[in-house]
Amino acid sequence: MTATHQDPETAVVAKRADAGEADTEEIRDLAAAAGLTVVDEVTQTRKEDPALCLGEGKVEELARVVTRNGAGCVVFDNRLGPYQTYNLGNQLPEGVEVKDRFRLILDIFGQRAQTKKAQLQVELAELRYELPRVEAKVSLARRDERPGFMGLGEYDESREQDIKKRISRIRDELQRIEDDEEHRREQRRESGFDLVALAGYTNAGKSTLLRQLAADLDVDENEDLHPDLDTTAESRDKLFTTLGTTTRRADMDRRNVLVTDTVGFVSDLPHWLVESFKSTLDAVYRADLVLLVVDVSEPVEDIREKLVTSHDTLYERNEAPIVTVLNKVDKVPPEDVEEKKAALSALAPDPVAVSGKEGLDVDELKRRIDTDLPPYDRERLVLPMSDEAMSLVSWIHDHAHVRDVDYADEVVVDFEARPSIVERARARAADLPLPAES
């Protein structure tokens, strides 16, 4: 089509629904998160057109809407195949970019990726997105036996091989990073820390809740800079504020707990995209306890759908207990909260209802964290009165919850801790030299 003046930062949203009304709220939020200004939308309820996604007449309407608004981008809240993207590009004004929701999510991730690990994960996802499109071009060229067809041919076959090699190299590099992170997690456990992960859909309030649970800012994950690392910052109502992971020490009475905030889930993500960010999700999969945070102010059917999807994602690899946290109770009357608890009881038995924003019932959540984490072992050690014993007592204070210490002719320390810490304390006590006889 004829080129028109287009603003590359403005977008028209398009969505096809198989049945019912096409809801565009989430795709609009995603577009805003990517820095686009949505100026209009075109929706349709019908079966998918294999060539254009929308019907031919609706695509003509879409082209008119794009031209009228001078939009430089069309964002589909659907998964577009390679041929659909190509065909739509031919039907719209020249120069207008066509993105589906997954290309848009990758753009957002790319904007937020600040660390090496995040950048590698984004590149891996982008390559996995591009590979089937390149493969489709190669297939077309081979079928038509025209090496130059659509600008294809030998270039695309070479590009296909380059993508596959780069995917393999990125996987190897991410595996090395994952091994280093797993080593760090085990070091933290050996230092007496329990590991708790926040999981859930984006905008459920995980980052705000982390602020309420955190005791300090001393833990450095060497990950993306998180807005909450600034003590004066407010958690932002913005999709994908957290791309990497942020870990803080929790304010707990009895336990040493590290809480990690992770990237939020998004509905209808394909397996290849979730798998590309497996390294980030390992913080959830390998935690001692998962807090699954949901926005209780949403309609109960939306919450149910998100809980089902979250459970599918978590139970695939996660072995830790899961506590459902109904967040944002400040937005909902108490009777509505109770009704939703009852309606969701099969998916979320015994949830904890809190307001991360207002700090309501966060102490109750801390009690549940303490209760649902793996139990501590209790130990009572009798030690000789010596400098070495005092050093061990200091170590126990750092790694365990000390109930009592009695200093008399001997040192008696009563404490509780992770089983591995108790075993190390026993071993160190057994190695203490006996006091010299006077």
pLDDT at 109: 79
Structure tokens at 225: 């800079």
Average pLDDT over residues 253-279: 74
158 is in an annotated binding site: no
pLDDT digits (tens, 9 = 90+) for 13-48: 999 999 999 999 889 988 998 899 999 999 999 999
261 is in an annotated binding site: yes
327 is in an annotated binding site: yes
pLDDT at 229: 34
Mean predicted lDDT score pLDDT of the chain: 83
pLDDT at 270: 65
Average pLDDT over residues 118-132: 85
Average pLDDT over residues 114-123: 81
201 is in an annotated binding site: yes
394 is in an annotated binding site: no
363 is in an annotated binding site: no
Global confidence as pTM: 0.70
Please check the confidence at residue 225 and state whether its pLDDT lies above 60. Answer: no
Please check the confidence at residue 370 and state whether its pLDDT lies above 70. Answer: yes
Radius of gyration of the chain measured on its C-alpha atoms? 27
58 is in an annotated binding site: no
Structure tokens at 12: 């028209």
Average pLDDT over residues 99-110: 87
Q: Cβ distance 218 to 242 under 8 Å?
A: no
Could you say which DSSP state residue 262 is in? Answer: -
Average pLDDT over residues 328-339: 95
Lowest-confidence region among 124-138, 327-341, 421-435: 124-138
Average pLDDT over residues 88-106: 91
For residues 26 and 305, give the distance between their C-alpha atoms in angstroms, rounded to a whole number: 15
The DSSP annotation for 100-141 comes to EHHHHHHHHHHHH--SHHHHHHHHHHHHHHHHHHHHHHHHHH
203 is in an annotated binding site: yes
Average pLDDT over residues 237-265: 74
Structure tokens at 417: 């801790």
202 is in an annotated binding site: yes
Structure tokens at 405: 């210490």
Q: Cβ distance 54 to 44 under 8 Å?
A: yes
359 is in an annotated binding site: no
Please check the confidence at residue 353 and state whether its pLDDT lies above 70. Answer: yes
110 is in an annotated binding site: no
Lowest-confidence region among 125-139, 228-242, 245-259: 228-242
pLDDT at 96: 95
Please check the confidence at residue 3 and state whether its pLDDT lies above 70. Answer: no
Q: What's the burial of 106, exposed, middle or buried (CB within 10 Å: 0-12/13-18/19+)?
A: buried
Q: Cα dist. 124→110, 215, 270 in Å?
A: 11, 35, 14
Structure tokens at 235: 């958690």
pLDDT tier at 318, thresholds 50, 70, 90: low
CA atoms in the 13 A half-sphere facing the CB of 151: 3
245 is in an annotated binding site: no
130-152 exposure pattern, b = at least 16 Cβ within 10 A, e = fewer: bbebbbbbbebbeeeeeeeeeeb
pLDDT at 282: 73
362 is in an annotated binding site: no
pLDDT digits (tens, 9 = 90+) for 190-207: 888 889 999 888 788 888
In terms of pLDDT, which residue wins out, 264 or 412? 412
Lowest-confidence region among 24-33, 164-173, 211-220, 319-328: 211-220
148 is in an annotated binding site: no
Please check the confidence at residue 309 and state whether its pLDDT lies above 90. Answer: no
